[in-house]
Structure 1
């Protein structure tokens, strides 16, 4: 009964206080400040969630989680090594590859590229690259037919179209393993993949056997690519896999090359949350100012309530409810609604902005995406609302205690 009475009186006080110009202005500013802070925080965290989601489903879905490469010997018996590596706990699948560098030429245009020989069937077990290939069924990417896959960015730079023939120049070791010999071969572009980012700018795929023939290395490979069940445990799993081979190998994981992206996202997320909490805290101070003025303005009403038998608990609850209604509920609801509406349409909003201004916020040649992603996480919304409620109650506590200390006799005598 006391809780419902305090809530009802809090609503009545809130409505009556808005009739005064000073109190009304401060209250409106408090609500707008909290609503704006909440909406900006929801939008910012959703953008960070979007970047993290795209990182996990683009970069980590395509690049190997780990790689094991030979140091002073070749993986000539790589088929047996694959079985050994795949039995390591945490390893989902493994695939062979041959790495090299070279040049691709189309007319007078030349571009330095990273060439990777892969087995299409085994590569599809560790990478989502087949889903990004255009113009070719991945299962038809077989050896002996002079086929090549190149990145969309490289194709645009060299003005290459699907079906064009290009020249691939590659260097291989001579008989004494010191002299480098050049080799040139004509290949047909039968597919393009669009991954964005620096990774896809200079990457070229050719069938594994064709790559081995170009380098004249027989059935040897450069290394073994690994996919693990938990990407953030990749370093430990790859280390165990390399140790299990029993050979002198070099190991590396995606964390050493792309881990900085994830750490940057987490750092920015924390800084945004801290900054927005400080802004919400400032807005909550306006709630405190509003309540202090309201208590002074409604001192006689408080005194009458005390003479009618209202206890300290009731008076305190009234102003706690008022502070909560002013900032924690009204401002929060407005902020959440605005934030969700913007997040749902954020990609379209930035697309329209780029189309109108002609300015591209993210370049696909540098970043792994060329749009502003957004992904709403309801846990973030709940944490934000709880933070606002706690700050609103904290801001209302001092004015509520001041209302309790009012002397009814003194207040009524002044009237």
Structure 2
């Protein structure tokens, strides 16, 4: 009964404000501040989640989780090494590759690229790159037919399309790394890699055997790429795989090349949590100020309640509900709803802003995506709402205790 009465009176105090009262103005400012801070936090967390999701889907699903390369010997027996590497617990699959640099040319246009020779069947076990290829099916990407896959950024720079022929110029070396001569071959573009960033702008794929023949490597390869069950354990697993080969090899994981992205995302996420507390703390300072002024404004009402027999617990509960409704319920709820609506339509809003301003915010030549991603997790919403409720109660506690200390006789006498 006391709780329902305290809630009822808290609602009356928060909604039945006196016309022109400063309490009404400060209360509205507090609610608006809570709405803005909550909605901005929802949007910020969703964007961070979106970047992390896209990084998982577009980067870690394409790049090898780890690579093993020889140091002082050749990998001509790589087929048997694949079986050895795949027996290491935690490693799902392994595939050979050849890395080298070259130039692609069409007409007067020349572009420096990195070429990767792969076995299409084995590569599909460690990478989702087949799902990003436009044009010829991945199964038809076989050796001996002068086929090549290029990123869409390369195709745009050279103004070529699927079916066109381009020249590839490479410098061949012997095993002592003495330069022998340049080779120029004519290859047909049979597919475009629909990825942004490095894979879309300077990476070319060709069949493994064709790369070996072009470089005169025989059965040798540059290294072995691996895929692991848990990408965050890749650093440890790639070292175990290197030891399992029994050879003097060099190892590296995706963390060496792309780990900074994850570190940056996690750092920004931590800063957002800190910002959430600080921003909401400022907002709830306004709520505390509102309640202090409201107590002074409602001094006569409090005095009348006291003369009618209201206990300290009831008076305290009234203003706790007042502050909770002001910030934790009204402001945060409206802010969450606005944040969800913006997140759901964020991509459309982003493209509209780009069209209006004429400025491309995320260039696909630099970033692995060319849009602002968003991923809404209910856990983040619950955390934000819970924090809002807790801070509302904390901000309301001091003014509620001050309300208990009002002397009814003194207040009514002044009136």
- Do they superpose with TM above 0.5? yes
Deviation for aligned residue 1:220: 1.5
1:237-256 superposed matches below 5 A: 237-256=237-256
2:364 counterpart SS class: coil
> 2:169 & 2:246 partners in 1: Cα distance?
35
Find out whether 1:126 has 2:148 as its counterpart: no
Quickly say closer, same or farther: Cα 1:116–1:37, change in 2 above 3 A: same
Runs of 4+ in 1 over 3 A off after TM superposition: 174-177
Find out whether 1:319 has 2:296 as its counterpart: no
1:385 counterpart SS class: helix
Deviations 1:222-242 (A, max 9, x none): 100011111111101111111
Give the aligned partner of residue 412 of structure 2: 412
2:171 counterpart SS class: strand
RMSD (CA atoms): 1.3
Find out whether 1:268 has 2:274 as its counterpart: no
Quickly say closer, same or farther: Cα 1:123–1:26, change in 2 above 3 A: same
Give the aligned partner of residue 196 of structure 2: 196
> 1:291 & 1:52 partners in 2: Cα distance?
41
> 2:125 & 2:175 partners in 1: Cα distance?
35
1:12 counterpart SS class: helix
> 1:177 & 1:45 partners in 2: Cα distance?
50
> 2:68 & 2:18 partners in 1: Cα distance?
69
Give the aligned partner of residue 358 of structure 1: 358
Give the aligned partner of residue 338 of structure 1: 338
Residues 240-249 or 268-277, more deviating? 268-277
Deviations 1:164-217 (A, max 9, x none): 111111122237542332211111000010210134311110001111111111
Give the aligned partner of residue 86 of structure 1: 86
CA contact (8 A) 1:212 1:221 kept: yes
> 1:375 & 1:18 partners in 2: Cα distance?
43
> 1:264 & 1:93 partners in 2: Cα distance?
29
1:162-201 superposed matches below 5 A: 162-174=162-174, 177-201=177-201
Give the aligned partner of residue 102 of structure 1: 102
CA contact (8 A) 2:86 2:94 kept: yes
> 2:333 & 2:20 partners in 1: Cα distance?
24
Unaligned runs of 5+ in 2: none
Deviation for aligned residue 1:89: 1.2
> 2:102 & 2:181 partners in 1: Cα distance?
12
Give the aligned partner of residue 53 of structure 2: 53
Quickly say closer, same or farther: Cα 1:123–1:413, change in 2 above 3 A: same
1:41 counterpart SS class: helix
> 2:41 & 2:199 partners in 1: Cα distance?
31
Deviation for aligned residue 1:356: 2.3
> 2:135 & 2:18 partners in 1: Cα distance?
65
How many residue pairs match? The answer is 415
Give the aligned partner of residue 225 of structure 1: 225
Quickly say closer, same or farther: Cα 1:77–1:61, change in 2 above 3 A: same
